[in-house]
Amino acid sequence: MGEEDERREERSRSGRRDATRQMRRDAPVIEGKATEVSSPPIETAETPAFDSSKSHLDVPPTVVDEVITPPVTGESEPSTRADEFLTGGGSDPTAEFDRPAETMASDTTSIGGLGEPSLGEQGRPLVPALATVAFLVLLAAVIYLLYQVSNDRSQVADLQSRLAGLEARPSSDMTEISQRISTLESAQAQAHETLGSLSKRVDGFESTPFGTSAQLDKVEAQTGELKSAVAGVQSALAALPKPETDRIDAQIGKIDVHLGEVDQRVSALQNTVSAIPRVDLGPLTSKVDALESRLKPVEAEVNSSKSPQRVAERQAAPMAVTAQAIVAAIETGQAFPQEFKALQVLGADPSKLAPLQTVAASGAPGLQDLQAELAGLRDRIVAKGASPPTGSYLDRIMSGASQLVQVRPLGSIAGDTPSAIVARMSDDIGHDDLSMALAELQKLPETSRTVANGLADRIRLRLEAENAAKAIAANAIGAMAPRG
């Protein structure tokens, strides 16, 4: 179905809805006013006299002034279409009653086709008959409209339910819309103000001249100066000397000649090389291969010697010799700076080199020096460790007398007295047992031990240096041992 058919169908449905709404109006009332119709006397010899006794329409003319109201059934009302149908398309329904009798008589035909004379000829009033016909037509229109209403009651009920739903729907909140309208109005007012200010500025620009005459004169003067400067530059360029192209062309010609000579020499060399007879390199290649096969074991041995293990083995012997030399220097109390540097180069353990670095420049204390220092401290150590005299007066005299004559024991003497401990320390130092001498020193009383603190530090210094040198030598000797 095309769009035109759809529009026609929509108009048809709209017409039916309009008819439904019009049916709710009041029933139309048709009022008719009858007038007396008198027929003029007919005087003719040819027309026979009409026998009034034989006609049922022979009634005296009467005046009819009544209201014909058709009965209304139901609640529906006639539509505009019914009104138009009853009124003859918008014409006055009483026009037929106001027409002259002559016209009505001419239009009236015989009833039932019986060939009776017309109303105009008989002068009969037609108002009752026309009223009856109008009533019947009106009744038929009402019945048609009632039929249409009965078919559209379902649509009316639907429309009523939808109308009730719309009435029950709460009114929407117009606050947000009002705010948006206010915002738009304020923005519009602001835009009007901005346009007004811009218009004023444009008017000011149009009314103001572009520049004063002084400014225009200044611009013209600067333009003249620029033109003068451009003319000077152009004249300077014209006065420049032209390049000596002849000399350059001559040099290019010489270069071309030299290039030709070089090409000739290269061609001659190529010819010479081509003329040299080829040499058979097979025997030479065989000899080179033999040399390479002989060099491979040597290269493998050299590479293996560069491994960390082989490097340590090669350095073990000189490191052991150097460490033994340092041990001998420590025993004699001599310095050993060169030997210490050699150990550093050979890669000795840094933790073992730290004790040696302290005594490398000055030398470690010798055993004789340590014994002499202990002998000088013996009397003070013994005196600090002696207990005060007790007992009778005679005992104190004997104790004082014993101090006048001192007896120094030698060798390993048993006992815990300071003199016995000092004797054992001296014997341990003489036998190079410094660790035992330090152990005996710890047995002295606190007062005596404070006197020998300096001696104990020097003993430890020598002992640590000697032990470090001996450990380096032992490790080097162990690295030289064959690994199976």
Task: Write out the two tokens for 67.
Answer: 């209201």
278 pLDDT higher than 70:
yes
Using the structure block, give the residue that is written with the tokens 């009002």. 178
Q: DSSP letters along 288-305, please? A: HHHHHHHHHHHHHHHHHH
Output phi, psi for 222, to 5 deg.
-65, -35
Q: Which residues contact 37 (CB under 8 A, 6 or more apart)?
A: 61, 101, 104, 123, 125, 126
23-27, 269-273, 404-408: range with lowest mean pLDDT: 404-408
Q: How far apart are CA 327 and CA 325, in angstroms?
A: 5
Stretch 121-127: mean pLDDT: 53
Q: Which residues contact 247 (CB under 8 A, 6 or more apart)?
A: none
Q: Which residues contact 120 (CB under 8 A, 6 or more apart)?
A: 39, 101, 102, 104, 105, 106, 108
Output phi, psi for 374, to 5 deg.
-65, -40
- Say what the pLDDT of residue 67 is: 39
Residue 402 identity = S
- Say what the pLDDT of residue 443 is: 87
| pLDDT, tens digit (0-9, with 9 covering 90-100), for 391-450 | 555 555 554 544 444 444 455 566 778 888 888 888 888 888 888 988 888 888 888 888
DSSP character at residue 365: P
Which residues are 67's β-sheet partners?
31
463, burial (CB in 10 Å: exposed 0-12, middle 13-18, buried 19+):
buried
Task: Write out the two tokens for 65.
Answer: 């002034």
| Range of 19-23, 139-143, 296-300 with top mean pLDDT | 139-143
Beta carbons of 469 and 331 less than 8 angstroms apart: no
| pLDDT, tens digit (0-9, with 9 covering 90-100), for 348-359 | 888 989 999 989
99-103 CB contacts, 8 Å cutoff, 24+ apart: 101/37, 101/38, 101/39
- Say what the pLDDT of residue 167 is: 61
- Give helix 350-359 / helix 453-480 axis angle, nearest 10°: 140
Residue with more model confidence, 459 or 30? 459
Stretch 469-476: mean pLDDT: 89
Confidence of residue 385 (pLDDT cuts 50, 70, 90): low
Q: How many CB atoms lie within 10 A of CB 444?
A: 22
pLDDT cut 70: percent of the chain above it = 55
Tell whether pTM > 0.75.
Answer: no
452 pLDDT higher than 60:
yes
Radius of gyration of the chain (CA): 77
DSSP character at residue 57: T
Beta carbons of 430 and 371 less than 8 angstroms apart: yes
| pLDDT, tens digit (0-9, with 9 covering 90-100), for 129-180 | 777 888 788 888 878 777 766 666 666 677 777 767 666 655 555 677 777 7
H/E segment holding residue 265:
helix 245-275
Residue 345 identity = V
Beta carbons of 24 and 90 less than 8 angstroms apart: no
Q: DSSP letters along 107-173, please? A: H---GGG--PPPHHHHT---HHHHHHHHHHHHHHHHHHHHHHHHHSHHHHHHHHHHHHHHHHSPPPP
266 pLDDT higher than 80:
yes
Task: Write out the two tokens for 300.
Answer: 């493998």
Task: Write out the two tokens for 256.
Answer: 């071309």
| Mean pLDDT for all residues in the chain | 69
The torsion region of residue 272 among left (phi > 0), alpha (psi -120 to 50) and beta comes to alpha
- Say what the pLDDT of residue 413 is: 65
Task: Write out the two tokens for 6.
Answer: 């759809």
Confidence of residue 318 (pLDDT cuts 50, 70, 90): confident
Q: How far apart are CA 427 and CA 411, in angstroms?
A: 6
Q: How far apart are CA 276 and CA 223, in angstroms?
A: 81
Residue 474 identity = A
Residue 180 identity = R
